[in-house]
Amino acid sequence: MPDRKRPHVIVTRKLPDAVETRMMELFRPTLNLGDAAFTQDQLKAAMAEADVLVPTVTDRIDADVIAAAGPALKLIASFGTGVDHIDLAAAKAKGITVTNTPGVLTEDTADITMALILAVARRVTEGERLVRSGDWAGWSPTGMLGHRLTGKRLGVVGMGRIGQAVARRARGFGLSIHYHNRNRLLQEIEEELEATYWDSLDQMLARMDVVSTNCPRTPATYHLINARRLALMKRDAILINTSRGEVIDEFALSIALKQENLGGAGLDVFEREPSVNPKLLKLPNVVLLPHMGSATIEGRLDMGHKVIINIRTFVDGHTPPDRVVETGF
């Protein structure tokens, strides 16, 4: 393919080598080998120059950035599932198609969710810190007591692909499955998961031993788990978040944990990443991970391949398979 027919693709972060190599074969990419995040001015400059922009979920593609797009830019092929970092309405008004990479991170995120449930319930990170400190005096009948998962109730907030994958794993650990969702699942899925549907989130939260938030970031889910709802939960309940940091009011969560009105929490996402609420950092009953739910080699390669397919399909004049429809969010 002659270079003049290859789209100029600007990639905002370092991607896996195999993905970048394939991009070199198919497109005219400008790669970010240093992996330093673009500033807003750099994003604007990239929009002005590129035929296709490949941002990640940490790039803020707001209306100002989209306004800087040159006439050649017609596609934003985001490397990631979430699209709350992109002003979809502004992109639509500018005639720019937006794609994402859905579906490839389901199993990876469900794995880390289950890992957090286990880590909090059995106080894994507290125990690991105790051993490293040199203060461990040996086994004790009352030492490092946590909670058994078998026989407990798991409430899933957001029963999409990831929520269902979490439910399947949790059943293997003897948890009974409950869920709250905007729409009730099909009967056959409920029967497969042996899941109980709750139309009222408040009523479900009050009865669960473990709560996992697996819903997208939308205006309706901002601080969905707030001080009022945290107060509804059992004093020994566990709260897990692997979706978006803004779904939980971190300040209210820190108070509930400090006052021991909640048993524990496991967070892989935060409201103001990469900054973490300093109050949470001081608490022993919360497990904090660096947004690594999707961080597997296999997942990152699959994401990159989806980006490439979306670009190639669009350049060939067809609708890309992962086109994001603005009205769907």
Q: Please write down the HEC assignment for all residues of 193-224.
A: HCEEECCCHHHHHCCCCEEEECCCCCHHHCCC
Q: What percent of the chain has pLDDT over 90?
A: 94
Residue 18 has pLDDT above 90, yes or no: yes
Does the active-site annotation cover 305?
A: no
Mean per-residue pLDDT of the chain:
95
End-to-end CA distance of the chain: 37
Task: Please determine, looking at this structure, whether the domain spanning 106-288 carries the CATH number 3.40.50.720.
Answer: yes
3-state secondary structure of 286: strand
Q: Which candidate in 169, 184, 291, 312 is catalytic?
A: 291
- Cα gap 6→190, rounded to integer Å: 47
Q: pLDDT tens, 68-100?
A: 999 999 999 999 988 989 999 999 999 999 999
Do 3-104+296-328 and 106-288 have matching folds?
Answer: yes
Neighbours of 3 (CB within 10 A): 8
Q: How far is CA 296 from CA 101, 160, 291, 292, in A?
A: 15, 21, 12, 8
Q: Which candidate in 123, 178, 229, 244 is catalytic?
A: 244
Q: Which CATH superfamily is domain 3-104+296-328 in?
A: NAD(P)-binding Rossmann-like Domain (3.40.50.720)
pLDDT confidence of residue 3 = 54
The band of 326, judged by pLDDT with boundaries at 50, 70 and 90, is low
Residue 2 has pLDDT above 50, yes or no: no
Neighbours of 141 (CB within 10 A): 5
Q: Where are the domains positioned within the chain?
A: 3-104+296-328, 106-288
Residue 30 has pLDDT above 90, yes or no: yes
Does the active-site annotation cover 126?
A: no
pLDDT confidence of residue 5 = 80
Q: Taking the model in full, what pTM does it have?
A: 0.89
Q: How far is CA 25 from CA 11, 18, 28, 41, 93, in A?
A: 15, 11, 8, 29, 32
Q: pLDDT tens, 137-169?
A: 999 999 999 999 999 999 999 999 999 999 999
Q: Rounded mean pLDDT of 221-249?
A: 97
Does the active-site annotation cover 107?
A: no
Q: What is the DSSP letter of 249?
A: -
Residue 48 has pLDDT above 80, yes or no: yes
Nearest partner of 186 among 213, 163, 159, judged by Cα: 159
- In sequence order, what are the beta bridge partners of 228? none
Q: Which candidate in 25, 194, 260, 273 is catalytic?
A: 273
Better-predicted residue by pLDDT, 2 or 288: 288
Q: pLDDT tens, 164-204?
A: 999 999 999 999 999 999 999 999 999 999 999 999 999 99
- Cα gap 263→233, rounded to integer Å: 10
Contacts of 282 (CB under 8 A, 6+ apart): none
